[in-house]
C-alpha cells in the first residue's frame, strides 16, 4: 500500500511537471491563449499603430518586412517569418499575443515583452501582423 502511494506521488509530480513545461514551451500553441479574444478591433488606425510599434520593438530581429531577416538578430538565432502561414506556437490572435508577451519557448531566443509593451500596443501589433500574412489561421 505504502509503495503505491509513493508511486502515486511520483506520478502526480510528473504530471504537474509536464503541465508546467508544456505551458513554458509554447510550440503547438496553447488552448488557454487561444481562448483569449483580441479586444482591439483591426481598424486601419490599429494596423498603423501596430506597424509603428513593430518597427520599434520587433523589426531589428524579424526584419522590416517581417520575413525573419532582421539585421540585428542575435547570432545563431532564427527569428520566424511572420508573414507565412506557419505559426509554430499557434496562429490565433491570443496565441500570437501570448508569444509576444511571454516569449518564444522553449529556448526563449525571443524574450517576452510583458511590462515593456502595453497590452493595447501588443494587440495593435497582432492586428498589424494579421494584415501582412495569409489569413489561414483561426482568429
The one among 40, 92, 110, 127 contacting ligand HEC by CB under 6 A: 110
User: How many angstroms separate the Cα of 48 from the Cα of each of 83, 93, 126?
Assistant: 17, 17, 11
Q: Which is nearer to ligand HEC, 8 or 32 (CB)?
A: 32
Q: How far apart are CA 43 and CA 20, in angstroms?
A: 36
Q: Does 89 bind ligand HEC (CB under 6 A)?
A: yes
In whole angstroms, what separates CA 86 from the centre of its chain?
12
Task: Categorise residue 68: left if φ over 0, alpha if ψ from -120 to 50, beta otherwise.
Answer: left
Q: CA angle, corner 45, sides to 130 and 53, nearest 5? A: 65
Q: How far apart are CA 105 and CA 11, in angstroms?
A: 25
Site string (7-46) toward ligand HEC, x via CB under 6 A: ----------------------------------------
Q: How far is the CB of 41 from ligand HEC (least distance, A)?
A: 19
Is residue 93 exposed (0-12), middle (13-18) or buried (19+ Cβ within 10 Å)? buried
In this chain, which stretch among 4-12, 41-49, 101-109, 131-139 interacts with ligand HEC, using CB under 6 A? Answer: 101-109
In this chain, which stretch among 5-13, 15-23, 40-48, 108-116 interacts with ligand HEC, using CB under 6 A? Answer: 108-116
In the complex, which residues of this chain contact ligand HEC (CB under 6 A)? 57-58, 61-62, 73-74, 77-80, 82, 86-89, 96, 99-100, 104, 107, 109-110, 113, 125
Amino acid at each position: 500500500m505504502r509503495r503505491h502511494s509513493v508511486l502515486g506521488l511520483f506520478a502526480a509530480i510528473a504530471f504537474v511537471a509536464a503541465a508546467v513545461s508544456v505551458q513554458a514551451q509554447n510550440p503547438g500553441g496553447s488552448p488557454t491563449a487561444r481562448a483569449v479574444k483580441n479586444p482591439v478591433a483591426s481598424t486601419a488606425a490599429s494596423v498603423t499603430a501596430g506597424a509603428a510599434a513593430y518597427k520599434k520593438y520587433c523589426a531589428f530581429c524579424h526584419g522590416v518586412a517581417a520575413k525573419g531577416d532582421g539585421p540585428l538578430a542575435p547570432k545563431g538565432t532564427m527569428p520566424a517569418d511572420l508573414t507565412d502561414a506557419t505559426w509554430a506556437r499557434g496562429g490565433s490572435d491570443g496565441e500570437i499575443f501570448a508569444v509576444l508577451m511571454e516569449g518564444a519557448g522553449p529556448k526563449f531566443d525571443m524574450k517576452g515583452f510583458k511590462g515593456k509593451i502595453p497590452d493595447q500596443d501588443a494587440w495593435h501589433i497582432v492586428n498589424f501582423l494579421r494584415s501582412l500574412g495569409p489569413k489561414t489561421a483561426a482568429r
